[in-house]
A = this chain, B = another copy of it.
Amino acid sequence: MEKEGEVKYMEIKNTISTYLIEQIYHYGVRHVFGVAGDYVLGFCNEIVHSKLALINTCDEQGAGYAADAYARLNGMGVVCITYCVGGLKVVNPVAQAYAEKSPVVVISGAPGIKERIKNPLLHHKVRDFDTQRRIFEEITVASTLLDDPKTAPYEIDRVLTTAQRYKRPVYIELPRDRVTTQINDHASTCKVQEESDPKILQEAITEAVIMINAAQKPVIIAGVELHRFGLQEELLKLAEKTNIPVASLLLSKSVISELHPRYLGLYEGAIGHDYVREYVESCDCLILLGAPLTDVDLGLFTARLDQGKMIYVTSEKTSIRYHNYENIRLHDFVHGLMESDIRIRKPEDIPRRDIQTFIPEPEQKVTAKRLFQCLNSFLTDDMIVIADVGDALLGGSDLIIHRRTEFLSPSYYLSLGFAVPASIGAQLANPSMRPLVLVGDGAFQMTGMELSTLARYGLNPIIVVLNNRGYGIERPMMDGPFNDLQLWQYSRIPEIISSGRGFIVKTEDQLDEALISAYEYREGFSLLDVHLDKHDMSPVMQRLTSRSAKKVTAEK
């Protein structure tokens, strides 16, 4: 992957599409996710004859989620689809990537520029030829139409650099009559990244260091941007140098190994563990690094974080207590802290949870609580947990993650259906990791058919379906038939796609056996259909729903 800020001189290939492919390859992309269609067939053909692999999902939505997961792990992900009928199916996954800062590049085929003359009613057109682009402008940080071979290389550089700078999606529209258009053979220069203003940065760091050193009990709250901007190593050094404890948020879970001696736990206001809440809320200096505060992270506004004790630095904003600093880049601030004279403290014994060995009770019905206990002892170093929305995420948030960046979930945007297709992108981004997918039955019914894609490309995630016959997370808020689902025989899906293994799990010993079998079976995916009581829920979800039930219909 290209380092930020570096000036790049690249060899220009001779067509728009070969240049585009070369550039995304340069950013570390090796797999492109998508579905073909007539306006994008020519470019698909270019991809399959390039160094990139084209991964075809069942539906474009799946490709969008796969590209998002790939981007989170790899630094950039690409989804390639046809005009409108493909592009407009990935609006939601791309919106998610925007909300949660994942640099997804959307490449959309489109009608040829010559075909657009006189505005004919070409198939796939909605209102006018720019409709799709205008929609994507709402959910991306840069967009371009590659209509002119003279500007195409610059435009490609511009949007990819912007994706890298802001860690957010961008949109590239490639008309089908421009795919093989020749471009001039000249060197192109990516823009140099803007840097922090040195005087402002110095003042902010000085003030922060004084505040930290004066504190009796400081804590670092490490946010998702540390992951996105590649600052996890710096975070680790900072914690190890100063011995200041580190908490994470739901969206940044696993930004640091959860077995690290300085790791405190997940801070989620009243929804999280009391020992983390009590520790964090009793601190006299809160160092929030790369942590935009979402309602979920704030435990639906049950968090009590005093701004008067806060050093708050994200990629978009820097403030200390009640005043702001402009023109500071997150990277420079974190690096500056590392280099400064922060007092080294005596390592403190911080409260922690242990991973308890799970001993199955034979014939005991599985409960959500016990399921997560079991998964906690099942997790190994080479697994990545991918949690869909619902109790899969909430219960999953309690798992103790061994390494970094090994917990993936759309825990702010909260779009159902992410996990199964995300496992495609995650395992291709890092084949040495085995995804453990946690997904509710509601989310599974949305995108579960992407198991077919796992089968097609020989991937082997372990998929745990939390089958409680409905949208369990909504029942405590307001129940009705709209929370019910048709019951599926999930464990028999391998028979439909002639691949993978399925297990029915109703008791603890079945759970234990199925996990062992799934772990040993490495030739394809395994799916565990875990039957849970309709109203069962994990301890985290119990705390959450008791807070959120009253919000659903609150008039005032």
Is residue A344 within 8 Å, beta carbon to beta carbon, of the partner chain? no
Asked if A85 and B414 make an inter-chain contact with CB atoms under 8 angstroms apart, the answer reads yes
Q: How far is the CA of A292 from the CA of B122 in the complex (A)?
A: 11
With CB as the reference atom, state the residue of chain B lying closest to A292: B121
Task: Decide if B139 touches A131 in the complex (CB within 8 Å).
Answer: yes
Contact A489 B498 (CB under 8 A): yes
Bound CA–CA A86/B447 (angstroms)? 14
Decide yes or no: A121 and B416 within 8 Å by CB, A95-B126, A474-B36, A486-B497 being known contacts.
Answer: no
Taking CB atoms, residues of chain B closer than 8 Å to A126 are 95, 98-99, 138-139, 413
Say which size band chain A's interface belongs to.
35 or more
The answer to the question of A484 belonging to the interface, with a C-beta cut-off of 8 Å to chain B, is: yes
5 A-B residue pairings within 8 Å (CB atoms) = A38-B548, A44-B482, A123-B412, A452-B488, A489-B497
Known A42-B478, A44-B480, A181-B555; further 10 A-B contacts with Cβ < 8 A: A54-B482, A58-B446, A59-B61, A99-B126, A121-B294, A486-B497, A488-B498, A489-B495, A489-B498, A496-B496
Which of the listed residues A56, A92, A131, A483 has the most CB atoms from chain B within 10 Å of its own CB?
Answer: A92
Residues from chain B with a CB closer than 8 A to the CB of A59 are 61, 417, 445-447
- A263 vs B125: C-alpha distance in the bound complex, in angstroms? 30
**Given A61-B89, A176-B552: A38 touches B296 (CB 8 Å cut-off):** no
Which residues on the B side are within 8 Å of A495 (C-beta)? 489, 492, 495
List 8 A-B pairs, minimum CB-CB distance, nearest first: A88-B92, A121-B294, A85-B415, A59-B446, A58-B445, A36-B482, A42-B553, A456-B486
| Complex Cα spacing A84 to B471, Å | 18
Contact between B449 and A123 (Cβ–Cβ < 8 Å)?
A: no
CB neighbours of A114 from chain B (8 A): 556
A107 to chain B, nearest CB (A): 14
Q: Once the chains are docked, how many angstroms separate the CA of A88 from the CA of B453?
A: 23
Taking a contact as CB atoms under 8 Å apart, the answer to whether A122 and B295 are in contact is yes
Taking CB atoms, residues of chain B closer than 8 Å to A449 are 445, 448-449
Interface residues of A (CB under 8 A from B): 34-38, 41-42, 44-45, 48, 54, 56, 58-59, 61, 84-85, 88-89, 91-92, 95-96, 98-99, 112, 114, 120-127, 131, 134-135, 138-139, 176-177, 179-181, 292-296, 412-417, 445-449, 452-453, 455-456, 471, 474, 477-478, 480-490, 492-493, 495-499, 548, 551-556
Check A36/B89 contact, CB under 8 A, given A294-B123, A414-B123, A495-B492: no
Given contacts A84-B92, A478-B41, contact A177 B555 (CB under 8 A): yes
CB distance from A147 to the nearest CB of B (A): 13
For A34, the chain B residues whose CB sits under 8 A away are 482
B-side contacts of A122, CB under 8 Å: 294-295
Min C-beta distance of A523 to chain B, whole Å: 15
Chain B residues with CB under 8 Å of A477's CB are: 38, 41
Cβ A414 vs Cβ B124 within 8 A:
yes
Q: Check A553–B180 contact: CB distance below 8 A.
A: yes
Interface centre among A38, A120, A477 (most CB of B within 10 A): A38
In angstroms, how far is the closest chain B Cβ from the Cβ of A34? 8
Q: Which residue of B lies closest to A411 (CB)?
A: B123
A486 touches B455 (CB 8 A): yes
Determine if B36 and A179 form an interchain contact, defined as CB atoms under 8 angstroms apart: no
Distance from A250 Cβ to chain B, minimum over Cβ atoms (Å): 10
Chain B residues contacting A124 (CB-CB under 8 Å) are 413-415
Q: In the complex, what residues of B have CB within 8 A of residue A478's CB? A: 41-42, 44-45
Q: How far is the CB of A459 from chain B (nearest CB, A)?
A: 12
The minimal Cβ–Cβ distance linking A252 to chain B, given in whole angstroms, is 14
Q: Give the chain B neighbours of A490 by CB distance below 8 A.
A: 496
| Contact between chains at B123 and A98 (CB < 8 Å) | no
A345 to chain B, nearest CB (A): 32
Contact between B482 and A488, CB atoms less than 8 A apart: no
Instruction: Considering the complex, give the chain B residue whose CB is closest to the CB of A100.
Output: B126
Which of B120, B138, B176, B177 is in CB contact (< 8 Å) with A134?
B138
Once bound together, how far apart are the Cα atoms of A139 and B127, in whole Å?
7
By a CB distance below 8 angstroms, the chain B residues around A48 are 480-482
Residues of B contacting A489 with CB < 8 Å?
A: 495-498
* A180 proximity list for chain B (CB < 8 A): 553, 555
Expressed in whole angstroms, the minimum distance between the Cβ of A38 and any Cβ of chain B is: 6
> Once the chains bind, are A121 and B482 in contact (CB under 8 Å)?
no
CB distance from A416 to the nearest CB of B (A): 7
Contact A412 B121 (CB under 8 A): yes
Q: Which residue of B lies closest to A455 (CB)?
A: B486
Which residue from B56, B135, B480 sits with its C-beta under 8 Å from A45? B480
Q: Find the B residue at minimum CB distance from A97.
A: B126
Residues of B within 8 A of A176 (CB): 551-554
Of residues A84, A96, A490, which shows the largest number of chain B Cβ atoms within 10 Å of its Cβ?
Answer: A84
- List residues of chain B with CB within 8 A of the CB of A42: 478, 552-553
Q: Shortest distance in angstroms between A376's beta carbon and chain B's nearest beta carbon?
A: 26
Given A124-B414, A553-B179, are A91 and B135 neighbors across the interface (CB < 8 Å)? yes
